[in-house]
Structure 1
């Protein structure tokens, strides 16, 4: 009996994800989710309290994983081994993109009206801070310091916007992973050489 309940719950979640991807959090309704799931509104309320509860069930764990892995960048000690650790963390992040590109697309592109509607700003701020600290470390070895980090902010925003478009337009997780890694490479390789700097002295 439990198997049947799990099956129905998963069917509702799959139908809801399709609705959220197409209509966004604001545009989707419990009625439209019921139709997409092949069940009744009453049956949905046996499994979920509200549309918000359905959205949280689908998006919450993916969001938490992303925040957890991005947060781990803060814990990396900036030294000669930092780049290798950063690469390992990026690889972990890419696994989430591989497994959950539809959920990430919904999170980044269709969250208006939900508690996640400002998630892109959070990700931009995270990345800006991490890259700023990394660039400051790299430049300090050259006897330089950043004039400011506004260009890093612009690059980080461009990366998040690019990722939002990639996961919206591309279905295949492997292709998403490749494109995201390409964007990281394009935006950040050699960045320290392009930033406006001052002498430390």
Structure 2
């Protein structure tokens, strides 16, 4: 009986992962999940209290990994004291490496966290990643310009760049499943942005 219950639970989780990937958290249906798992809608609530409980059961481990990697990036950035403008790509690439590493074991879950978790307890995942990129860019601008304060124009530029970079990454995750393809496209995206950022920093330094 216990084996049967575990099999049903796994069927629910598998059906739910497909449902969340297709519809996103907000538009997903417990009824469709139950049907795909081969059980009644009422029976699904014997295993999970509600949709949020089911979503957390699926995303909890991937989210913990995500938080662990983001904390590591923050710590590395905080401990950085020298950056040259031609090294911008190496620092932004930390975001790329984090995503690729997470995708090795939890590709679907990370895709859902970053692009399809609106309305859930993990809805801030994409914004958290944007905040990390902002932190990276602020550090790069401050260190290369040898200043502790950024002008408002630089702050606006950094905000715009961070949002655009992560939105681009999310589009790649949404449209592609193959890990090698995702890595290539994210590398290309960040390389293009890094060249532009380095040029922006150099222009600001020359003006100063």
- For the residues of structure 2 that align with 1:31 and 1:197, how far apart are their CA atoms? 56
Cross-structure match for 1:129: 135
The answer as to whether partners of 2:130 and 2:166 remain within 8 angstroms in 1 is yes
Distance 1:163 1:155, change over 3 A: same
After superposition, give the CA deviation of every residue in 1:120-165 in whole Å (9 maximum; x if it has no partner). Answer: 222212210122113322332xx89743222122111111111111
Where structure 2 has 5 or more consecutive residues not aligned to the other structure, the ranges are none
Cross-structure match for 1:73: 73
Higher relative contact order (CA 8 A, sep 6+): 2
TM-score by length of 2: 0.79
After superposition, give the CA deviation of every residue in 1:55-105 in whole Å (9 maximum; x if it has no partner). Answer: 111122222222221221221211459977876775344121233222222
Number of aligned positions between the proteins: 199
Where structure 1 has 5 or more consecutive residues not aligned to the other structure, the ranges are none
The answer as to whether partners of 2:103 and 2:110 remain within 8 angstroms in 1 is yes
- What RMSD, in angstroms, separates the aligned Cα atoms of the two structures? 3.1
TM-score by length of 1: 0.82
Distance 1:145 1:194, change over 3 A: farther
Cross-structure match for 1:95: 101
3-state SS, counterpart of residue 114 of structure 1: coil
1:107 and 2:109 aligned:
no
